Amino acid sequence: MTLYLDDAAVRRLLRLQDLLTGMRRVLVDLSAGKVIQPLRTVMEIPAAQGFLFIKPALTQDALATKLITLVPGNAARGLPTLLATIVLMDPATGQPLAVMDGTWITALRTAAVSAVAADELSPTGPKIVALLGSGALARSHALALRAVRPVTQIRVWSRDPANVARCAADVGGVACASAEAAVRGADIVCTVTNASEPVLRGAWLKPGAFVAAVGAPRPNWRELDDAAMSSVLVVDSRESAKHESGDVILSGAKLGVEIGEILGGTQPRPATGATVVFKSLGQAVEDAHAARLVYDAAIAEQR
């Protein structure tokens, strides 16, 4: 029987610690060529000025496809700008196992990947975090980063002061009037915006800072300027970055190593003290594994 799991069920069943462990594993497997994952398909939704992304993947224990919409106008409607549905299938038979709301999976697995990269690529010890963006991804990043580092302060900025105030209150952070004010002196910077033009200037970054560049999932969109992109670059997938990341394509940045190669020990970490940009485009294998975690937890709950 195919399970149908709504947002409330997914939030109840998906555990952050399991996700952090799982994201490390699938990133290593992705870099090692142990999964099948074509580039995502993107279709424009002209009337909504949005996009539909179709993202299939096959891992050792999961076959899944995620359908995700990006509709910037949803913020004014009180809806998430990112909405997703995941279809999970048995990799041996193709039989549908579950259809589940993928919105929280997207938010939490994205943040978990950023946290895994921050844990691997930034020094230990207390951190000041800057969040550029004030939506669901900002909130999930605050949660995930606190799971891997002691966070002394979270600073929040986006273009909408009302959203900034709400997000800062939700994450126990400080509302900032400008992106520069949020970034100056921060140890970890997360760009989680819908911007198509740079919102982060390299001149603002503290030497040795770690940047999780999460937004700008289109080849002509950017969140980071050329100065920021001149930092040491680590990507989740070279193939995806080469074709899908405006930050990489438009800056002419040299493609760096994959985080899965560093986690798997086949490539060294960046030099101590280097400023590091981790460009995350959100890989379908992450969704497939997260959906399998949710499905397994749902089956266990029924027993």
- Find all residues with CB under 8 Å of 260, minimum gap 6, and list them: 27, 28, 29, 30, 31, 32, 236
Mean pLDDT of 122-149: 96
The type of residue at 193 is T
Q: What is the architecture of the domain spanning 111-282?
A: 3-Layer(aba) Sandwich (3.40)
Average pLDDT for the chain: 95
C-beta separation of 222 from 197 below 8 A: yes
Mean pLDDT of 208-233: 95
Least confident of 21-25, 116-120, 175-179, 214-218: 214-218
* 3-105+285-302 CATH fold: ornithine cyclodeaminase, domain 1 (3.30.1780)
C-beta separation of 41 from 66 below 8 A: no
Domain span(s) for CATH 3.40.50.720 in the chain? 111-282
Sheet containing 50-58: give its strands across: 3-5, 96-101, 82-89, 63-70, 50-58, 41-45
* Residue 210 Cα to chain centre, angstroms: 14
pLDDT at position 23: 97
Q: What is the pLDDT of residues 26-38, one digit of tens each?
A: 999 999 999 999 9
Q: H-type helices in 71-132, by residue range? A: 74-77, 103-121
CA 5-39-21 angle, 5° bins: 55
Mean pLDDT of 193-203: 95
Q: What is the pLDDT of residues 137-195, one digit of tens each?
A: 999 999 999 999 999 999 999 999 999 999 999 999 999 999 999 999 999 999 999 89
- Give the pTM: 0.93
The Cα–Cα gap between 101 and 285 comes to 16
Looking at the DSSP bridge assignments, the partners of residue 85 are 67, 101
The tokens for 125 are: 């010890």
Domain span(s) for CATH 3.30.1780.10 in the chain? 3-105+285-302
